[in-house]
Structure 1
Amino acid sequence: MSRSLVALRSLTKRRISTGVGVGGVSKSSPQLRVAEMFTSVQGEGPNTGRPSVFVRLGLCNLECSWCDTKFTWLFSDEQLKRVRNAVPRSQLDKVGNKVYSKTDEMRRYSVEELLEQILNISSGDKIVRSIVITGGEPLLHKKALLDLCPQLIDKGYKIEVETNGTLSPDGMPEQVHYNVSAKLANSYQPESKRINIPVLKEFAQKRSVLKFVVAEDSDVLEVKALAEKAGFASERVFLMPEGTTAADISSRGRWVVDRCLALGFNYSHRVHTSLWGDLRGV
């Protein structure tokens, strides 16, 4: 476990021991459910390689079968059953059988507590001025983000939000950059649930890109059609190779590069997967 993640959980224990409750604030104050926080480099998209503090928020409004952060939302047998029932039997091994504990995986933080933690992690021997807010689906926490993000911007931080593109960014600071990963048919979610064209058109008017993991030509064609409907020019679209190991990423990456050249899309590597596989907190 990274030092940053240890510090985050240590802070939680101190808050609980004071007797003021999880988060240390009243229930009426905006709070965020934090799954993990750590420093690394941005591994995907237009800012690949940028040193960043990653803040992974819990909860999601989708239940994608191949999600690699199920620990942020898969908290019941009922959810697991829905996910497994949605995929072909041949892919059940990829889905797994694990149900996570919400109390073990997430902690509640007030905006003030999370801001303090970010400032501590990003200073000292690791001077970082970029924040990547990911999930789960971060915009489920928009009420708290409307308070947190302006404070970070005022302190000179650049902010990226990783989102599935189904929830409106209305009201968020204009300086925020969005990496929008709308979910494709291969997520085995109903199209009516995973695609919100009016909201995607909102994102197209913001500082944003579309970013997709693709495995076959049907994925690429789906991306092309979606980008056109949402109003994203090809130079704002990033394709990444599917895979869970460096070898997978490398071999499929050559195919993705060919598709990018043919359609005018951008190629993005997946640095975290190439360097650390599915290890958390890096």
Structure 2
Amino acid sequence: MMIEVSEIFTSIQGEGPFLGRPASFLRLSKCLPPLCPWCDTRHAWEPGEWISIKTVAAGIVALENKLCVITGGEPYLQWNAGLNFLEKYLIEQGLTVQYETSGKVLIPSDSRGFKVCSPKYLADTWHFIPENTSLAHCFKFVVKDDFTKVNAFIKEHHIPANKVWVMPMGALRHEQLEHSSRIWDFCVKNHYNFSPRLHTLFFNNQQGV
């Protein structure tokens, strides 16, 4: 059984509820259209390397982190290709598994990892499966100035404020800093969690961090 991998590396989780924790990152290839024009991991759109579940698992365990972040692309596209078995193995090894998903595909009901859902607003609509509202543990929004749209989404899906993280959009340091003060004020006003994107602040759009 094999999955298509974009990259595996060790770093620190730079955003969201696990901010600051040492982590192993498994970035899977492929995403689901429409693709985000602001995406800072476009290399994951390209074909990756097909690697056996056993080899991927060994590589992640060897990095010796207690947190494994599985991202993409859209990781749940490969759930039935073997990601389900990889998750089971990593949890059995004592790792916490955290997913970064867009919510464009249905989150598997038997996935035991911590699901961070980051819905995408493209072409005047949210590309999100409503059933994922109850399947995700928290929601993360990358925002420039679309405050009304974000609040409308949160209200429509009855998401508690303590489950919301908001981050400034920007693939480069100066872009993130430009938007951060507005995002900060937005979070204060609505009692949302604020999250920087530490990897962008420190390394711009460098891969593998």
Find out whether 1:50 has 2:50 as its counterpart: no
Find out whether 1:196 has 2:129 as its counterpart: yes
The 1:156–1:66 alpha-carbon spacing in structure 2 relative to 1, beyond 3 Å, is same
Aligned residue in 1 for 2:60: 118
Instruction: State the secondary structure of the residue aligned to 1:259.
Output: helix
- Please report how far the alpha carbon of residue 230 of structure 1 lies from its aligned counterpart in structure 2 after TM superposition: 2.3
Find out whether 1:136 has 2:73 as its counterpart: yes
Aligned residue in 2 for 1:180: 117
Structure 1 window deviating more from structure 2 (140-149 vs 51-60): it is: 140-149
Instruction: State the secondary structure of the residue aligned to 2:140.
Output: strand
Q: C-alpha separation between the residues in 2 aligned to 1:228 and 1:110?
A: 42
Structure (1 or 2) with the larger CA radius of gyration = 1
Aligned residue in 2 for 1:278: 205
1:125-150 deviation line (CA, Å, top 9, x unaligned):
xxx11000000000001111211111
Alignment of 1:82-231 (within 5 A): 102=47, 106-120=48-62, 122-123=63-64, 128-143=65-80, 144-174=82-112, 176-185=113-122, 188=123, 191=125, 194-198=127-131, 200-203=132-135, 206=136, 208-216=137-145, 219-231=146-158
Q: C-alpha separation between the residues in 1 aligned to 2:69 and 2:178?
A: 28
The 1:250–1:65 alpha-carbon spacing in structure 2 relative to 1, beyond 3 Å, is closer
Q: C-alpha separation between the residues in 2 aligned to 1:170 and 1:64?
A: 23
- Please report how far the alpha carbon of residue 169 of structure 1 lies from its aligned counterpart in structure 2 after TM superposition: 2.0
Is the Cα contact below 8 Å between 1:169 and 1:202 reproduced in 2?
no
The 1:245–1:173 alpha-carbon spacing in structure 2 relative to 1, beyond 3 Å, is closer
More helix by share: 1
Aligned residue in 2 for 1:234: 161
Give the residue type in structure 1 aligned to 2:103: G
- Please report how far the alpha carbon of residue 236 of structure 1 lies from its aligned counterpart in structure 2 after TM superposition: 0.7
- Please report how far the alpha carbon of residue 228 of structure 1 lies from its aligned counterpart in structure 2 after TM superposition: 2.1
- Please report how far the alpha carbon of residue 201 of structure 1 lies from its aligned counterpart in structure 2 after TM superposition: 2.2
- Please report how far the alpha carbon of residue 57 of structure 1 lies from its aligned counterpart in structure 2 after TM superposition: 0.1
Aligned residue in 1 for 2:176: 249
Work out which of the residue numbers 9, 12, 16 in structure 2 matches 1:41.
Answer: 12
Find out whether 1:67 has 2:4 as its counterpart: no
Give the residue type in structure 2 aligned to 1:136: G
Instruction: State the secondary structure of the residue aligned to 2:51.
Output: strand
Is the Cα contact below 8 Å between 2:39 and 2:171 reproduced in 1?
no
| TM-score normalised by L of structure 2 | 0.92
- Please report how far the alpha carbon of residue 35 of structure 1 lies from its aligned counterpart in structure 2 after TM superposition: 0.4
Q: C-alpha separation between the residues in 1 aligned to 2:179 and 2:104?
A: 28
Unaligned stretches of 5+ in structure 2? none
| TM-score normalised by L of structure 1 | 0.69
Q: CA RMSD in A?
A: 1.6
- Please report how far the alpha carbon of residue 271 of structure 1 lies from its aligned counterpart in structure 2 after TM superposition: 0.2
Q: C-alpha separation between the residues in 2 aligned to 1:235 and 1:253?
A: 19
- Please report how far the alpha carbon of residue 49 of structure 1 lies from its aligned counterpart in structure 2 after TM superposition: 0.3
Give the residue type in structure 1 aligned to 2:118: S
Is the Cα contact below 8 Å between 2:38 and 2:171 reproduced in 1?
no
1:65-116 deviation line (CA, Å, top 9, x unaligned):
111122122x5xxxxxxxxxxxxxxxxxxxxxxxxxx3xxx11012111111
Aligned residue in 2 for 1:13: none
